[in-house]
Chains A and B, each alone.
Chain A
Amino acid sequence: MTDVTLQNVRKEFDGVVAVKNIDLQIPDGAFVTVVGPSGCGKSTTLRLIAGLEQATDGTIQMGNQDVTGVEPKDRDVAMVFQNYALYPHMTARRNITFGMKSAGDFSDEEIDRQVEEATAVLDIDDLLDRKPGELSGGERQRVALGRALVRDPEVFLMDEPLSNLDAKLRIKMRAELAKLHSEFGTTTIYVTHDQTEALTLGDRVVVMNDGRIQQVDSPQRLYDYPETRFVAEFIGDPAMNMLSVDISRDGTEYEAVGPTFRIPLPEGDGLETAAGAKALLGVRPESLSVADSADRSSFAAEVTVTEPLGDSLLLECRTGDQEFKLHAEPRTAVEPGDRVALTVETERLHLFDPQTGEAIYHAAAAESSERSGVPAG
């Protein structure tokens, strides 16, 4: 186990910048997930840590060692790939032991013991004599995990390891990965495009976009206190609604004013500077609800689409020229075309700068923001 630190790391491919000067600190024994849309640089970041790509600029440290130019084999990392990367002509056992035997760091007894241990944990001990072609997707990924486990590396690197599995198996393997981590406690860096995976697995989630780190935080804080509009819209499904508003001030009272609504904003940091300017009001779909009767803070909207999800009813609505989604109570009697009155849970509102996308205000007072991914200074 070891910690991993990236300082000002930059990667260019033929003039295209894939990773733009990122700083990231991964504590010893943490399970860190890196999430973002495709092309955001998350896989490149992982490959930089693995040593499969060399950084154009910046340094990568593991423990107290600078590993920036070090060969992958000398970094003591193990990597699990999306397509399992099993050698098709070797049995599962040979696949697991091939790397160990090549590295020559292990005695035969050690190898046998490690294989026995790892395969028992992964429940693949009876599959060892089969070739990858005779295994299902889930079994193959277990073998690939076994191969990583037996090497007992300092850091596990996982590049979308569950993406090729079907939905049910993915959820099952997700739970097993979490269990494995709590059992072995090895520092794990896990890249995924799936926010559910990122939130459920990571102690810490790194959100990346366009080669930059947008935010590093615990899953719940990422959801509750997004630092940028990108994070707000990327985390959560359906995405946070963004309504363009003007911030008006009346004494100590603030309001977000849209063409068809006025929503009071609880007092909080950032409101004073935002007053009198345009902003984007971020409202999660579950913070909106259909009101029984109209009152001061409610506003009217037209339902355009209804999607019954079973445990809730997803409504797509329009007010003025702005569209948004909300979770209504299941079995609410509304049809597309109906006009409904909506109320807002004002403690869960966010304001973002329309130009920069930076968060300027969260209605719920945040405990001191812990951007622990970025080293102090």
Chain B
Amino acid sequence: MLGSLLTALTAAVERSQAAGRTTSERIRRFETEQLTLHVLAATVVFLIVLPVLIAALVSTKRAGIVTSIGDLVPGGHALSNYRRALIGLEFWRFMLNSFVMSVAVVVGKLIVSLLAALVIVYYRFPYKNAVFLFILFTLLLPVPVRFVPLYRLTTELGMGNTFFAITVPYLASATTVFILRQHFLSIPASLVETAKVDGVGPLRFLWSVLVPMSRAVLVGVSVIMFVYTWNQYLWPLVIINAENLQVAQVGLNLLRGQASTGEVAWSMVMTGSILTLLPPLALLMLFRRQLLETFTIQQK
């Protein structure tokens, strides 16, 4: 027993000597590896951030025409640019519209998806799996694909150019139903059975048990949905004509049109871009922990 252990040890030592790996050498190798990784990561991050960085720089300049590297020095017009965009050009109104639209869509989506997931997980009814598959199937038909029929439907309902038109079509969400379903399935069945035996009704169970137990997932999903809705451009552009109802992404385009000289006011456009970036960025920073949690649940 001891003998064989000794033989194994000696063999291992010989092997490592043959490979020429002493401890200090191994540490050096590890450090080089780490350094390479960090440099690589930093480069990738820099490349991703670069456009935003340029936008931020341009938003501080007067004209905002960049023709050389030298033009990328921060300018001194940051404050006046942002004030002009937000107040002078009333960009705050577009931001507010976007915000209201996003919040409404998130809240509506959560209500619809929570109820859908509740039914799909906890109720027995015929063709349940087929119903769920059908919901998943709607993933193949996002809003842009449904543009033409959706446009006709909305205008024929007399809802074109209203707040209704930019919220209701987004309310059903197969993704949210799917994520919530997976989460509900991970909750032990005995909890719902206890509730059944105790006479706790389905809505009370949803509100008092499922929602509190799904808080992290709900927050994670809400952030994703908020950012998704906030970034909608094409549909609001098509369906909304009134400028006072328009959303930030489309509003950006209107900022460009404010250039009186016939030239594009790039610094204004970039100022608007940076402004529209801020709310999603704030949410992502605030709720990054819950976001990560939501996705680890998906991996389970």
Query: What residues of chain A have their CB less than 8 Å away from a CB belonging to chain B?
Result: 50-52, 71-75, 77-79, 81-83, 85, 87-89, 98-100, 102-103, 147, 151
Contacts and interface: CB of A to CB of B under 8 A. Distances in A.
B289 to A, nearest CB: 17
B209 A87 contact: yes
B188 A73 contact: no
Contacts of A81: 190, 193-194
B8 interface: no
Contacts of A52: 193, 196-197
A85 B188 contact: yes
Contact of B198 (A51, A89, A99): A99
B168 to A, nearest CB: 33
A99 B213 contact: no
Nearest to B205: A102
B200 A83 contact: no
Interface in B200-243: 200-201, 204, 208-209, 212-213
A77 B197 contact: yes
B199 interface: yes
Nearest to B200: A102
B191 interface: yes
A85 B194 contact: yes
Given A89-B213, A102-B204, A78 B188 contact: no
B218 to A, nearest CB: 13
Contacts, number: 63
B47 interface: no
B208 A98 contact: yes
A71 B213 CA distance: 25
A82 B198 CA distance: 17
Interface in B178-200: 188, 190-191, 193-200
Closest 7 CB pairs of A and B: A99-B198, A73-B199, A85-B190, A103-B199, A102-B200, A81-B190, A85-B194
A228 B213 CA distance: 48
Given A52-B193, A83-B190, A73 B209 contact: no
A72 B196 contact: yes
B199 A79 contact: no
Given A89-B212, A102-B195, A151-B198, 11 more contacts: A71-B196, A72-B196, A73-B196, A73-B197, A78-B197, A85-B194, A87-B209, A88-B213, A98-B208, A99-B200, A147-B198
A245 to B, nearest CB: 47
A56 to B, nearest CB: 14
Contacts of A79: 193-194, 197
9 contacts: A51-B196, A73-B196, A73-B199, A85-B193, A85-B194, A89-B212, A99-B199, A102-B204, A103-B199
B201 to A, nearest CB: 7
B254 to A, nearest CB: 47
A75 B213 CA distance: 28
A99 B190 CA distance: 14
